[in-house]
A and B are shown apart, each in its own frame.
Chain A
Amino acid sequence: MKRKQAAALGLAAVMAVSMCACGNSEKKESKSEGSGASDEKTITYWNIGTEDPDQSILKSAVDYFNENSDSGYQVEMTSIQNDKYKEKLVIAMSSGECPDMYTSWTGGPLQEYIESGYAQPVTDLYKEKGLDKIYMESATAQASFNDEIYAVPILNVAISGIFYNKDMFDKYGLKEPETISDLENICETLKKNDIVPFALANSTKWQGSMYYQGLATRYAGLDDFRAAFDGSGSFDAECFKYAGEKIQDWVKKGYFPEGVNSLSTDDGQDKQLLYQEQACMFYSGSWYTGTIKSDSEEFYNKLGWFPFPEADGVDKGAEYASICNGTIGDQFISFSCKDDKLKAAFDCVSYYSTEESINNMVDNGKIPPVAGVQEKLSDPLSLEICQFAESATDVQLWYDQYLPSSVANAHLDSCQELFGLTMTPEDACAATQAAMQEYIADKE
């Protein structure tokens, strides 16, 4: 009896320990810069292109480089699914096995990578290759920190906007909305006809955050957000309350699918609602042009697009309505390797800016962030998105990418609770603001 208990105690202790151990074992060696993993002539490249067309687009540069480069280096590409990728990259870095080149969305996380020495400045190479002339200024600006360029914008002008099913709009006599109240009227009509107004899958949280960003931006522009970000303002500002209240109002009116917080966008449950014509509108990033097109060209032709409409009764409403939420570039490649290896890796990435590659992206429904891309676009949807992006008075990167990670997390959590009606707009604001204050206090 006694012995069994002793054994059980030992077992319990070991089990208690194993979790902590797993959370914390391998790092320490992070001092070795760049990749320690593979051999010297291999450039490791991580991105999130797990599905076509992204996968084949991203791979094209790798294939081209591996066949034609005389640098002696070979690039090895690994694609990891979006939401997992963000965590895997951090784990790789913390164990000193950072890939030589990797994709990010810039913003807060890239700044962390830079400060930790995992992103090299590439300003000289960037200019040498003439990329500053090829890419849109706003794209280069997004990749720059403290006057140095740290990443190459490669893929897409990805801004938020609303895709809608044109057939349904015709059937119920609906027009693209000018204002948010127009949009609400559309939703009411759709509701009456048993159609879910918005396809949304919010278990990953960032999808719902787009509504929050759209509403806040249309209501008060970007000044309040930027003030909250640098500490001179606060997330308690009126526009954030407005966004929270609108979301809850819409949830209560049934504008979103049932169980919205348990639907998963990684499993495509939002797209499914759209494809099965159970839902009519889809407020999301414009990268879906490529995805939907490759899923079904026929369905793609049924879609129209409009930017998030103007807020009602706001003085500068029209001005605010021309602000983009999103990213001019979407995927940004950064480099952790140095010297010759960096040059070779940069060579590989600069293939994305060649005429051939850009044409290929356009054919696949992408809007590469290069100057004058409008002339290349034949697809009306992409053209509309591109025109809106280029005429934008300002661009704000997604909150969840732009904010420091702990604040982004607080924002995403509270925003998801807004959709679940388990938190009031005031509390959601307070939670985000608390995280922001903690972050600022921590920095000092």
Chain B
Amino acid sequence: MNKNKNSLEANNRKSVAVTAVIFLLPVILFLAVYVLYPIIDTFVISTYKWNGISANRDFVGLKNWKRLLADTKFWAAFWHNIVIMVVSVVIQIPLGLALATFLNFFTKKVRISRVFKTVWFFPYLMSSVAIGFLFTYALATNGGIISTISGWFGGQNVDLLGNPKTALLTIILIVSWQFTPFYMVYCMAGYSGISDDIYEASVIDGATRGQYFWKVALPLLKPSLISAAILSMVGSLKYFDLIYVMTNGGPGSSTELMATYMYKFSFSQFNMGYGSTVAGGMFILITAVALLTMKGLNRGGEE
């Protein structure tokens, strides 16, 4: 055995380890304080009966968790989240991809692509609260856009947000309007990773634009699309802001999501213990869904 070489290697490994620790330390500390600790604390609080403001809290063991399992409202909220998730992925990513593809074909015509890029990106720049207010007025039953258009054709006023059957879908469409630009940019970044040579090569080989898109670009974009899908799914499962601003879970509880449900218990019903249980339940469900999809998509990717 060459003793010298070994010690060199060990030395090298050691210095790499030291550097790694130094570079990772801040991040680890940050994650521990702001991510790990709150998660653990959430689960700890979920075993207490606590109103959230009092200094005393009573240990109740798994009582809150038993209640959560039997809580039909929570599972209804989870179902709403699943609906948002599915519809969001189905609408936002294909639409984002389509817009990005359009822009990619027009990269040569700088002016056109710039105009569209700006206009399409605009919704994503607005804050959710502003969007909420905007659409509350735009969709007003009396004098809103949809009602006015319906009036031109002799129809009646349309109450999209006040009707439990349409409220959730309406909000999903608004969410899609807001987030499609994000996936557009995501796909554009994916496109810029595909070298021009590939496009030129496929054109020389006689590929049409359609063939290039389906046979060449799409497979190359697949990894980006998969992470976009996961982002969108996780985002949908923990969705909160627009619902909070526009319907606050109403009418009745037809647009209640897990996050708004958690918020209500924690901050307006004096039940931080159960609110934390809902948060814990969310954490478990979201992680499970994310892991399952990742597994499913990866298997698809390896075929």
Contact = CB atoms under 8 A, between A and B. Distances in A.
B179 to A, nearest CB: 13
Interface in B29-51: 34-35, 38-39, 41-42, 45, 49, 51
B162 interface: yes
A86 B141 contact: no
B252 interface: yes
B161 interface: yes
Contacts of A405: 268-271
Contact of B38 (A24, A98, A113, A409): A24
A433 B258 CA distance: 23
Contacts of B301: 1, 5
Contact of A19 (B157, B259, B266): B259
Contact of B53 (A113, A263, A264, A414): A113
A8 B55 contact: no
Contact of B279 (A12, A23, A31, A112): A23
Given A417-B252, A420-B162, A23 B286 contact: no
Interface string B41-79: 110010001011111000000000000000000000000
A90 B238 CA distance: 22
Interface string A327-349: 00000000000000000000000
A260 interface: yes
Interface in B260-275: 262-264, 266-272, 275
A90 B159 contact: no
Contacts of A406: 269-271
B19 interface: no
Contacts of A264: 136
B283 A16 contact: yes
Contacts of B276: 23-24
B250 A261 contact: yes
A117 B54 contact: yes
A87 B267 CA distance: 6
Contacts of B287: 13, 16
Nearest to B144: A259
Given A24-B41, A90-B52, A420-B164, A12 B250 contact: no
A116 B55 contact: yes
Contact of A16 (B49, B234, B266): B234
- Chain A: number of interface residues, binned into ranges: 35 or more
A301 B19 CA distance: 78
Interface string B131-163: 000001001111000000000000001011111
Main secondary structure of the interface of A (DSSP, over half): helix
A23 B276 CA distance: 8
B251 A422 contact: yes
A257 B49 CA distance: 42
A100 to B, nearest CB: 15
B221 interface: no
B267 A90 contact: yes
A203 B247 contact: yes
Contacts of B226: 5, 8
B238 A16 contact: yes
B54 A30 contact: yes
A94 B160 CA distance: 36
Contacts of A15: 231, 234-235, 238
B95 interface: no
B268 A259 contact: no
Nearest to A28: B41
Contacts of A261: 159, 161-162, 250-251
B264 A409 contact: yes
A412 B275 CA distance: 19
Contacts of B271: 405-406
A135 to B, nearest CB: 28
Contacts of B253: 413
A406 B263 CA distance: 13
Contact of A25 (B38, B52, B263): B38
Nearest to B256: A413
A442 to B, nearest CB: 8
B111 to A, nearest CB: 34
B252 A423 contact: yes
A21 B38 contact: yes
A36 B30 CA distance: 25
Contact of B268 (A90, A203, A414): A90
Nearest to A269: B140
Nearest to A15: B234
A269 B159 CA distance: 15
A383 to B, nearest CB: 35
B162 A262 contact: yes
A228 interface: no
Contacts of A417: 164, 251-252
A408 B161 CA distance: 23
Contact of A23 (B139, B162, B235, B275): B275
Nearest to B252: A417
A91 to B, nearest CB: 6
A376 B275 CA distance: 48
A422 B164 contact: yes
A112 B272 CA distance: 13
Contact of A118 (B34, B53, B163): B53
A366 interface: no
A8 B54 contact: no
A350 interface: no
Interface in B273-300: 275-276, 279-280, 282-283, 286-287, 290-291, 294, 298
B227 interface: yes
Nearest to B52: A94
B66 to A, nearest CB: 13
B252 A420 contact: yes
A133 interface: no
Contacts of B136: 262, 264, 267
Contacts of A94: 52-53, 266-267, 272
Contacts of A423: 252
Interface in A180-201: none
A414 B54 CA distance: 29
6 contacts: A8-B231, A13-B287, A24-B276, A90-B53, A262-B251, A406-B271
3 nearest A-B residue pairs (beta carbon):
A259-B141, A262-B162, A259-B159
Given A9-B291, A12-B230, A16-B234, 13 more contacts: A13-B287, A15-B231, A19-B282, A24-B42, A90-B52, A113-B53, A115-B51, A258-B142, A258-B157, A262-B139, A262-B141, A413-B253, A414-B252
